[in-house]
Structure 1
C-alpha cells in the first residue's frame, strides 16, 4: 500500500496553511520558524500504521510545504518536526513525537495516555531537560484531510439585531445525553442538538441564539482520566479547526452543519465558545501533541529570563502568544473557517483579556482586537468576551473595544446580592437595570455590550442558587478545594432539597424575580440551559469534569408540572421583553428629554410615587424601587413601562406617579399564571421578593388587546433584518451617564 505514494513530495505552496485538497492531490503547509526539517507522516485509514514518511521539500517565509499527488480527502496524517531540543532557550523539538496539524480540519481517534507522549523522559532526574526517544504515534490521534463541500441550500443566518437578542448557553452533549427518547448513538451529539423536540423547546422560549460550550476537538486530561472523570466542558483545546469527534454520531463533519442549518431555519443563531488563550499541552511538564513540538518558542509566551518556563495568565499552564503574527493568523484563520465552512453567527472568547495582552499588559488596541475589528467578515458577527483572566490587571469588564459584548459579572453579582437580601444594593441595581452605563457607555458602545447573566456553566444553576449556601463538589475528587466559595446564594432555610412548602415557595418566587430582573434590564440577556425548568447540579458549582447526570439536562424535570410552569413563565418574560422596546433599549438613555406629555425617558420613584431622592438611594434597608421607562418604537408608537421591585419579605403597596396614564398589569412574579394586560386602578400591591411590570398609555388612548403570545417569536426579527445590522455602532448620543441614573459608588 505504501508503494502507491511517491518517495518525494512536490514543492507545493506555502498557502493556505494546513492540508488542502485540489481534487488531484493534497498540498501541505505548516508554520515553524525554528525547525530545521519537517516530515509528513501518512497513516492507514485506521491511523494505526504509519505507511510513509516524506520530508516537506520547501520552506518559504517560515512555512514548510509540499504537495502529494493523487491524494484525496480522508487521508490520515501527522507531522514530525526536527530542530534543537533546548528547553532553556524555548525549543522542544523531538521528531520522535507525532504532531497534529494545527490547521487539521478533522481528527481521528483520541489521546491514549502514555509516557511516550512527553518530549522528555518521565521520572528522569533532569526532568524536562531530558530527551525521550519513544515514538508517540501509537498513542496519538491523527489529522485527516477534510472535504468541506456541503449543500447549504437557501440557509442563511437569522442576523438577529443585538437589541433583540436573547442567548441560551448550552452544552452539545448535555442537551441530549440524558434523553431516552432518541437513539442512543445520537445522545450527546450534534444530531441530538438538531432534534426537533429540543429546537421546538428553545423556539417556544423565544431565545434567538444558542451559545455552545467548546466544540473544538479537546483533550481528555490525564489527571481526570486517572480519577475516573472526564473533561466535560471542553476548555482544553487540541485543535482549533476540527470539531470534537465525540460530538458526531455519524463520524462525519456534516452532522454539525446540518444542526446549524436546522437551527438557522428555526430563526436561532449559533455562537461558539472558543478557547484561543491556552492549549491542552499545559506547562513545561506537559505532553508534546502539536504546537509545542512544531515551534514552542513561537506559539507560546515564555518567561523572558528563562524560556524553559511558560507565562501562565490563564491558570492552565500556558498562554498562547498572541503577539506573534503567525499565531494571530492561526486564530483569525480559525475564526473565518468556522464562520464560512460552518456558518456560525458569532464567538464567545474564553478569557478574552488574555487575547488582548501585549508585552506590557492588556490593551484594547492589541493586535488581536484590531485584526478582528477590521475584518470584513468577523467584525459583522456577534463577538463576546469573557473580560478577565488570572494575570496582572486581569479584570477588564467594560474596557474592551467597540464591537465586542462582555460577560458582565457585576450584573450577576449585584442582582444576586439584591435578591438574597443584602442591604445597600439599590444604587448598583439601578445601574444594572439600565444596561450598566457606568461600565459600557463610552466610545459610542451600546447597551447590548453588557451581556447580562445570572448563572452560567461555571457556578450554580439558578435552582441551586436558591437552594444551597455552600458548594457541594465532592464528586470532583478535590476535597472541596475547587469552585468558588462565595456564590452570593441563599438556601432560604434548608440546604438542598426540602419538603418544606414555605421554603420551596420562597425559592420559586426568588427564581422568578431574578429571571424578570434579567429579562427586563437593558443589555443582552443570557439564560443558562435548564434554568428555565429548574435543572439542578446538586449544589456542584464546578461540574467541569462531570459527564453524567450531574451536568446533563434533566428532561424529566422539564416535563414535570413545576418544570412546565417555569418554562412557560420564562417564555412569557421573553415575549414581554420583545413586545416592549422600553425594556430592551438599543441605545443608552441619555438626558431628561421629554418623550411624551411630561414623561421623560427614565424616572425613578419610591413606593409613594415620589421621585427617588438621594436618601432613598442610600438607605441600606430600602429594598423597594420603581422604574418608569418611556420610549417610542421605530414606527413612532409610544411605549411606557413601570417596573416595581420589592426585595423585602413583606408586601408593599406602590402608588402610581402619573395621573395622565392608565396602567395594565403585564407580569407579577408572585402570580406567574395571572392574566396579563389587566387594568390596574389605585395602588399596586407587590408581594415580598417579587417584581411587577405594568404597561402604561395615555388616558384617552385605547389599550390594545394583549399581544399574541403564540406568534412566531422571531417574526419581528425576520421583518427587521434588512434594516438592523447586528453590529451597528452608530450612536449620536454623548458619552454620559443615563438620565436620572442612581448614584454610583
Structure 2
C-alpha cells in the first residue's frame, strides 16, 4: 500500500478539486469532531487509506493529497455525537458521500448496515449501529469536469418563443427503434431524438431529475424502482444509470448536441429534501455529516419537519446549505451548460425558519442577485404539503410557475362541466388573476394539460378513474380527481365512434394549450398518443407503462401537433409578454381583446353567467403598450366550441384585410384557406383559428 501524506490544503472550493498535481478536499460540518477522508482501490472494493482532514477554517474541514488523480475513488467518515434527541446523528462506522461529489460509481445496495441505528431495536433510532456500511455504499469519484465544448453557445431563447417538452431520460429513448444507447444521455443526444424535437418545433427539453438519486427500499423490496428520481442522493453528480460509459462528459455531450439543434436543456431539480428520509431513514451523506445543519428539525430535534411528504426538509436557511444549493446550480450552468431549472416543491425553498412562505426568503434573494443564475430560466412548482403551501402566483420575478389551475380549467371545459367558460377565458388570456402583478409577464404561467405526475393526454380522454394497481399500493396513490372523461368506455376500445371522439378531444385540448397566452409545456409522448394504461402516478414504473411507445405512434396527431406549434411560432399575438385586458390601443383606438358570442356580438354579463354555455370566441391583437406593435400582425380570431354545430359570424375585418382559416380541429388536415363569407357553419366539438391578411387589389 503506497504511503500518502495529507497537507493542509484550502477551504475553498468545497468538494474534491484536482489541480494537476493532486486533489484538495474540503467538507462542511459545523458539529463534527473529526472528518476522515477514505480512499479506495480502483475496483472500489478495498479501503486503502484513512486520512483525517488536518485543518478546519470555520466549519470547513480540508486537506490536500499530492499525487492523487481524476478517477480516484473516495468517501468520508464523520466523528461526533450520536445524540438524536439533540439533533445529532454522527456515526463513524458509516461511509458517507461527499455532498459535492461530481460522480458516483453506482447506487447504494440496501442493507440494515446503511442505518445509523439498529433496525428492530426497542429504542428505534435512539439505538446505535456499529456495522461498517462501506460494502453497501457507492464511491465518490474525483473528476476533472473540463470538456471540449468547442463553439457551444446556449440558445438563450426568449421566453415568448419557448415551447417546453417534459421528458424522462430513459422513458423517451428506451423503446425508440433507432436510438443507440437507449435509456441514457447519449441516447438523448442521438439524431432520431434531435430530429423529432426539431420537427415538432420544441425549443426547450425539460428533463425529469437527472442528478443522482436513490431507489427507495420499499420499492426495491417490491421489485420496483424509483423511476422518476425525486429522491436526490447527490446534487452535483449525474445519475449513474444514465451514463453509458460512466463519464460525466456524456451529459455535457448531450447538452452540446441539444444546443447545436437550437434546443435548451432545463433540469428538474430537487433541493427541498434529500433521499435520507425521516429519523428511520439511512445515513448516506448529509445526515452523517451534520444532521442538525442540513435539515430543518422540529422543536424536538429528534424529528424532522416534513413539508415535502418525504420525511425531511432541507434547511436552506442555513448559510452553508444555501451555499451548497447555489454552488450546485452554478455548477450545472457553468460546467455542464444547462439553460434552466424547474424546482420541485419550490414553496419549501421559500419557507422561513418558522415555516411560513416568504417570496423574499433567502433562497429567492440569493437567486435573484446571482449573475449566473439570473440569465437562465427558473421555473417553480409552486406548492408543497406544508401549512400555506399552495402559492401559485406568489413567486417573485424572474420565476415562471407551473399552473395547475390552467390544467384543471381546460380539462373541465372540454369535459363539459358547467360554468367553465369564464375559467377558460381567464386561463387562455394568461391567468392574470394569478400573475399580473410585480411586473411579471404573461409568460410567467407555464401552461400544461399533462405532466409526468398524472394522466397522459391519451389517458385523459380514455379513463374516468386512475388504474395504479401496478404500483403495489392497492390503487390508493395518485390523484383521484383527474377531470378526465373516457368518452364511453374505460380504457382501450375497438369502437370507431369512441376512437374518433377521443382523437378530436385530444386535438381540442392541445389546440387550446398552444393558442393560449403563457408558456406551453407538452408531456413527451402526448404528440404520439402515448398511454400509461390509466396509471396516473407512474413514479415506480421503469417499464412499458412509464416508457414512450414509439411503435404505436399516431401519425395524424403528430402532424397536427406540428401544425399547432408552427402556427403559434408564426403568430406573436399568441405568445405575448403583456397581458390582454381589453385595453384600447392608442394607435388605432381598438381594444386588444374582444370576447364575442358566435353571432358576433360582445359577451354580456348574462352570457358569462350562463351555466350551460359551451362556446367562447376571442379576437386578439397585440397588447396595448407593446412597443412597435403597428409593425406586427393585425389580429387573430379563435373559436372554442364544446357544444353542437353552430352558425358563426366573423368579426368585421378592417378595410383592406380579410380572414384566413388556418386551423380547424374537426378537419385536422385542412389547408389554410381564405374565408369569403362572414357567416359560416362550424362543427361541434371543435377549435378554429383565423388570422387577418391583407387583401390583394
| TM score, norm. by length of structure 1 | 0.91
Q: Give 1:587 deviation, angstroms.
A: 1.3
Match of 2:247 in 1: 252
Q: 1:86 aligns with which of 83, 86, 110?
A: 83
2:658 corresponds in structure 1 to 662
Whether 1:602 aligns to 2:593 is yes
1:731 matched to which residue of 2?
A: none
How far does the alpha carbon of each residue in 1:610-642 deviate from its partner, in whole angstroms, 9 at most, with x for none? Answer: 000111111010111110001287671333100
Q: How much does 1:45 deviate?
A: 1.4
Counterpart contact for 1:175–1:192, Cα < 8 Å: no
The equivalent residue for 2:324 is: 330
Q: 1:314 pairs with 308, 313, 319, which one?
A: 308
Q: 1:3 maps to which residue?
A: 2
Tell me the residue number matched to 1:198: 193
Deviations 1:131-168 (CA, angstroms, capped at 9, x unpaired): 00000000000111011110110011111000110000
Query: How many Å apart are 1:177 and its aligned residue?
Result: 1.1
Distance in 1 between residues matched to 2:314 and 2:603, nearest whole Å: 50
Asked whether the equivalents of residues 169 and 183 of structure 2 are also in contact (C-alpha less than 8 Å), the reply is yes
8 A contact 2:272–2:349 mirrored in 1: yes
- Find 2:406's aligned residue among 407, 411, 414: 411
CA contact (8 A) 1:652 1:688 kept: yes
Distance (Å, rounded) in 1 between the aligned partners of 2:637 and 2:587: 15
1:512 aligns with 2:507: yes
Q: Please, which of 326, 340, 345 is the counterpart of residue 346 of structure 1?
A: 340
* Residue 274 to residue 702, structure 1, CA distance change in 2 (3 Å): farther
Q: Secondary structure at the match of 2:367?
A: helix
Q: Which residue of 1 aligns with 2:41?
A: 44
Matching residue of 2:132: 135
1:106 alignment partner in structure 2? 103
1:481 to 2:476 alignment: yes
Find the partner of 1:528 among 498, 523, 526: 523
Shift of 1:678: 3.3
Residue number in structure 2 paired with 1:495: 490
Spell out structure 1 runs of 4+ moving beyond 6 A. Answer: none
Whether the 8 Å contact between 1:43 and 1:77 is mirrored in structure 2 is: yes
Match of 1:435 among 430, 439, 456: 430
| Aligned-partner SS, 1:593 | coil
Q: Distance in 2 between matches of 1:238 and 1:606?
A: 55
Structure 1 residues 669 and 578: alpha-carbon distance in aligned structure 2, compared to 1, 3 A threshold = same
Structure 2 residue matching 1:599: 3-state secondary structure: coil
Residue 503 of structure 1 aligns to a residue in which SS? Answer: helix
What is the CA distance between 1:501 and its match in structure 2? 1.0
User: Is the contact made by 2:637 and 2:691 (CA closer than 8 Å) also made in structure 1?
Assistant: yes
CA distance in 1, matches of 2:92, 2:502: 59
- Counting only pairs closer than 5 Å after superposition, residues 225-236 of structure 1 correspond to structure 2 as 225-236=220-231
Bigger relative contact order (CA 8 A; separation at least 6): 1
1:742 matched to which residue of 2? none
- What SS does the corresponding residue of 1:557 show, helix, strand or coil? coil
Unmatched tracts of structure 1, length 5 or more? 704-745
**Distance (Å, rounded) in 1 between the aligned partners of 2:457 and 2:194:** 22
CA distance in structure 2 between the aligned counterparts of 1:441 and 1:464, rounded to whole angstroms: 33
Separation in 1, partners of 2:369, 2:64? 33
Question: What's the offset of the Cα at 1:679?
Answer: 3.0
- Does 2:621 match 1:627? no
Residue of 167, 172, 175 corresponding to 2:164: 167
CA distance in 2, matches of 1:551, 1:358: 36
Please give the secondary structure, in 1, of the residue aligned with 2:675: strand
How many Å apart are 1:590 and its aligned residue? 4.2
- Offset of residue 424 of structure 1: 0.4
Q: Which residue of 2 aligns with 1:53?
A: 50
Separation in structure 2 between the aligned mates of residue 284 and residue 197 of structure 1, nearest angstrom:
46
Q: CA RMSD in A?
A: 1.3
Partner residue of 2:689 out of 693, 697, 700:
693
Partner of 2:371: 376
In 2, Cα distance between equivalents of 1:330 and 1:301: 15
Q: CA deviation at 1:695?
A: 0.7
Of residues 567, 570, 578 in structure 2, which corresponds to 1:579?
570
Give the CA deviation at 1:179. 2.5
Alpha-carbon separation, structure 2, partners of 1:535 and 1:409: 21
Which residue pairs with 1:739 in the alignment?
none
2:279–2:302 contact (8 Å) kept in structure 1: yes
Tell me how far 1:586 sits from its aligned partner.
Answer: 1.9
Which one of the candidate residues 165, 175, 178 is aligned to 1:181? 178
CA contact (8 A) 2:10 2:24 kept: yes
Q: Residue by residue, what CA displacement relative to the aligned partner does 1:661-689 show, whole Å, maximum 9, x if unpaired?
A: 52110100111001114334232333222
**Could you report, residue by residue, the CA deviation over 1:71-116 in whole angstroms, capped at 9, with x for unpaired residues?**
1111100000000000000000000000000000010122111110
Q: How many Å separate the matches in 1 of 2:419 and 2:124?
A: 54
Query: What TM-score comes out, normalization by structure 2 length?
Result: 0.97
SS in 1 for 2:2: helix
Distance 1:91 1:236 in 2: 22
